[in-house]
């Protein structure tokens, strides 16, 4: 069994039943894998949510394991961002928080934004 953290773009695609992402999640769920989110996902998804989507959105988000961002995770996020900058890449703080959470908690990240998560120690789910 694998534990997956769902990136915000993936969650939005699942909610809108776009790009086959609902089917990906359903298939993984049938294989008894677990899904998680964090405060960043909740904030990003809710910031773009329409009133008519609130119930469905909250139901999906609350069905996921909620992983808190600890001090250690925040520190690692800063280190990852700093390391990226030294390598000539600019990563956002929210993306680095998600990456650090996945690394620390041994979660596989499901995202379409592979370029935003180019850390060798981070495991990504292979989306087409």
Distance from C-alpha of 23 to C-alpha of 20, rounded to nearest angstrom: 5
Q: What is the pLDDT of residue 42?
A: 96
Q: Residue 123: is its pLDDT beyond 80?
A: yes
pLDDT above 90 coverage of the chain, percent = 80
Report the relative pairing of strands 3-6 and 34-37 from DSSP bridges.
parallel
Instruction: For residue range 8-20, list pLDDT tens digits in order.
Output: 999 999 999 999 9
Residue 87: pLDDT over 90: no
Strand order through the sheet with 3-6: 65-66, 34-37, 3-6, 108-110
What's the pTM value of the predicted model, to 2 decimals? Answer: 0.91
- pLDDT beyond 90 at 85: no
Which token pair is 89?
A: 């890449």
Helix crossing, 54-63 with 39-47: angle to 10°? 170
Share of the chain above pLDDT 70, in %: 99
Confidence label for 111 from pLDDT (cuts 50, 70 and 90) = very high
pLDDT at site 114? 87
Q: If one looks up domain 3-67+106-117 in CATH, what number appears?
A: 3.40.50.1010
Cα distances (Å, whole numbers) of residue 105 to 7, 34, 60, 116? 15, 13, 21, 19
- The confidence score (pLDDT) of residue 65 equals 97
Q: How confident is the model at residue 115 (pLDDT cuts 50, 70, 90)?
A: confident
The mean per-residue pLDDT over the stretch 109-122 comes to 91
């Amino acid at each position: 069994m694998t534990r997956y953290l769902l990136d915000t773009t993936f969650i939005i695609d699942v909610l809108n039943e776009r790009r086959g992402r609902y089917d990906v999640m359903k298939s993984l769920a049938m294989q008894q894998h677990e899904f998680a989110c964090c405060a960043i996902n909740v904030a990003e998804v809710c910031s773009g949510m329409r009133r008519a989507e609130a119930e469905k959105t909250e139901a999906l988000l609350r069905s996921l394991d909620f992983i808190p961002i600890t001090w250690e995770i925040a520190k690692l996020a800063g280190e990852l961002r700093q390391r990226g900058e030294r390598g000539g890449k600019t990563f956002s703080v929210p993306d680095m928080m998600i990456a650090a959470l996945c690394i620390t908690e041994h979660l596989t990240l499901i995202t379409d934004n592979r370029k935003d998560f180019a850390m060798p120690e981070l495991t990504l789910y292979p989306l087409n």
